[in-house]
Every structure is written in C-alpha cells, then in structure tokens.
C-alpha cells in the first residue's frame, strides 16, 4: 500500500473581509495516497480553491495540521514554503498565470531556475515538447491561444516532476474541445510521472476521470465517494 502524501486534520481557515472574518474552511479532514487522483467538486464559494491554496502553502491555516509528503506546512516560514513548493508541488490555474513578459520557454523554466538547475532551459524545452508546443517556445503568452497558454502552464507545473499537482478549474477558461485536449494531456503526464493529482472542477465528467471524488460545501467535505474506474 502506498504512503499518504496528503494528511489534513481539522483544517480551519478564516479570512478577514470587509464585513469581518469569514470561515472558509471549517474542520476539513483528508488523507490522499501517493499517486491518487482526487477531484473536488462543489458549488462556488464552497472553499475548493482555498483548500488548494492551503495544500500548496500559499494560504496559512488558522488551525489544524496540513502535512504534505511528510512535511508539516504550519512549521515552515514563507521562504521554506517556497522551497517546498519548488520541490514537491506543481499548480495549474484557471486563468493560467503565466508571466506575460516572458516567453513560453522562460515561463516553463522558472521553477527549475529557482531551484538552481543548470539545465533549466533544456528541461523546459523537453517539457514544452511533451505538451506539443516546441514551435511556440519563443512566443509570449499574449501571442498564444487560451489552450496553448494552459498547455504552457501544464508544462511549467510538471517540469520539476513534483510529487503533487494541484489543478484549479484548468478548463474553466477553455472551450469544450480544447479543455478535453488539455485534460488528456494532464492525465497522461500525471500517469507517466506518477504524480498525485488534486483537481478542482465543476465538470462532473472531468471529476469522473479521477480515482476519487470529494464533494465540498460550506467549507466542509460532505461525502466521500470512490469513483468507478
């Protein structure tokens, strides 16, 4: 049996808004095994994206414990979290979040460059090739279509071969056909590299492609269902 890569216990997360503190996550418990693919579904405002942020260390828990690949995130400072992400986590966003003034190749190379890899560009080139975008390496994000931009984002997320991939509505800004292509690519890469995938989506069909689906509402995980392969 594989080891757990994600262990969350009684995770609470409140954010302070204009009208006072808002409890986004209210006692989340979760355990995900290495290599698993898990989808998180639920209505808008349920806390799905916040859960991803907490998993990546981009958002700090108000209480509770998040352990990823054996590392307790609450014990890391901001820079240690950055180093942790660089080694363990890849993230794909709905709105891509590429650096607009960097070429596709430079965008993909970024995590490797921060990790001090001397062959960052070569590996980035290979990652771009894996997403079928070799010819677009020198293009800036503004010169790429939405689907192409998301493929660059995928290449960037996978280039450092992270143990965990977090994807937040990766097809939300794409048409059905392009979305399908991107997701095929994502699952292929995940399978090839054995990466654990946490996928936030509104699309039930997409959720079905994961080995497990979790429903979230009002900051809590309501039910857990094993997907039918």
Partner 1 sequence: MNEPPVLRQAWRLVRRELRGGLHGFGVFLGCLFLGVFAISAIGSFSAAARSGLLADASALLGGDLEVRLVHRPLDPAQQAYLRERGQLSGVLELRTMAASLDTERRVLVELKAVDVAYPLYGQLPLDPEQPFQSALALDSGDYGALVEEAFLQRLSIRVGEKVRVGAVDFVVRGVLKAEPDRTIRAFTLGPRLLVSRSGLDATGLLQPGSLVTYAYRLRLADREQVDQLKLDLQQQFPDAGWRLRSWREAAPRVRFFLERMNTNLTLLGLCALLVGGLGVSGAVRGYLGKKVLHIATLKCLGASARVIFVAYLLQILLLGLLGAATGLLAGGCIPFLLDWLLGESLPIPLQPGFYPQVLLVAALFGLLIALLFSLKELGIACRVPAAVLFRGYVETERKNLGKKVWLAILLTAGLLILVAVLSSSDRRLAGWFVLGALACFLIFRLLAGLVIAVARRLLRPQQPALRLGLANIHRPGAPAGSILFSLGLGLTALVMIVLVQANLNSMVSDSIPAEAPAFFFLDIQPEQVAPFEQLLNDSAGLVRLERYPTLRGRITAIAGVPVEQAQIDPKVRWAVRGDRFLSYSAVMPSGTQLSRGGWWPADYSGPPKLSLTADVAAGFGVSIGDRLRVNILGREIDAEIANLRTVDWSTLELNFALLFSPGVLENAPQTHIAAVHLLPEAEESVYKRITDALPNVSAISTREVLANVSRTLARIGAAFQGMAGIALLTGFLVLAGAVSADQHRRIQDAVIFKVCGATRRDILLSFAAEFALLGLAAGAISILTGGLAALAILKGLMDAPFNFYPGIVFATLAAGIGLTLLLGLLGTWKALGQKPAGYLRED
In the complex with partner 1, which residue's Cβ is closer, 125 or 213?
Answer: 125
In the complex with partner 1, which residue's Cβ is closer, 36 or 106?
Answer: 106
Where do contacts with partner 1 occur on this chain (CB under 8 A)?
Answer: 49, 53, 56, 58-59, 78-79, 82-83, 85-87, 91, 93, 95-102, 106, 110-111, 113-116, 118, 121, 140-142, 146, 149, 156, 160, 173
Distance CA 17, CA 43 (A): 20
CA dist 30 to 3, 20, 64, 125, 153, Å?
Answer: 14, 28, 12, 36, 27
Smallest distance from partner 1 to CB 50, Å:
8
Instruction: Note whether 172 and 94 are within 8 A (CB).
Output: yes
In the complex with partner 1, which residue's Cβ is closer, 111 or 179?
Answer: 111
Smallest distance from partner 1 to CB 66, Å:
14
Distance CA 186, CA 180 (A): 10
In the complex with partner 1, which residue's Cβ is closer, 9 or 101?
Answer: 101
129-151 exposure pattern, b = at least 16 Cβ within 10 A, e = fewer = ebbebeebbebbbeebebbbbbb
Smallest distance from partner 1 to CB 212, Å:
25
Smallest distance from partner 1 to CB 86, Å:
2
State the CB neighbour count (10 A cutoff) for residue 31.
Answer: 12
């Amino acid at each position: 049996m594989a080891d757990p890569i994600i262990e969350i216990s009684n995770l609470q997360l409140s954010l302070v808004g204009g009208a006072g503190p808002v409890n986004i996550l209210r006692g989340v418990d979760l355990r995900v095994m290495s290599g698993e693919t898990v989808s998180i579904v639920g209505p808008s405002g349920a806390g799905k994206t916040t859960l991803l942020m907490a998993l990546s260390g981009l958002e700090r828990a108000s209480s509770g414990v998040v352990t990823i690949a054996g590392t307790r995130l609450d014990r890391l400072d901001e820079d240690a979290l950055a180093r942790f992400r660089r080694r363990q986590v890849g993230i794909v966003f709905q709105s891509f979040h590429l650096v607009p003034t960097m070429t596709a190749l430079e965008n993909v190379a970024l995590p490797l460059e921060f990790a001090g890899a001397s062959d960052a560009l070569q590996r980035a080139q290979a990652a771009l090739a894996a997403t079928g975008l070799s010819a677009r390496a020198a293009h800036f994000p503004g010169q790429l279509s939405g689907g192409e931009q998301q493929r660059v984002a995928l290449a960037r997320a996978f280039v450092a071969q992270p143990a965990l991939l977090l994807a937040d509505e990766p097809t939300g800004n794409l048409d059905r056909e392009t979305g399908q292509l991107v997701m095929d690519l994502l699952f292929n890469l995940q399978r090839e590299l054995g990466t654990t995938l946490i996928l936030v989506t509104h699309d039930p069909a997409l959720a079905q492609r994961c080995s497990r689906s979790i429903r979230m509402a009002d900051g809590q995980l309501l039910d857990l269902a094993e997907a039918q392969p």
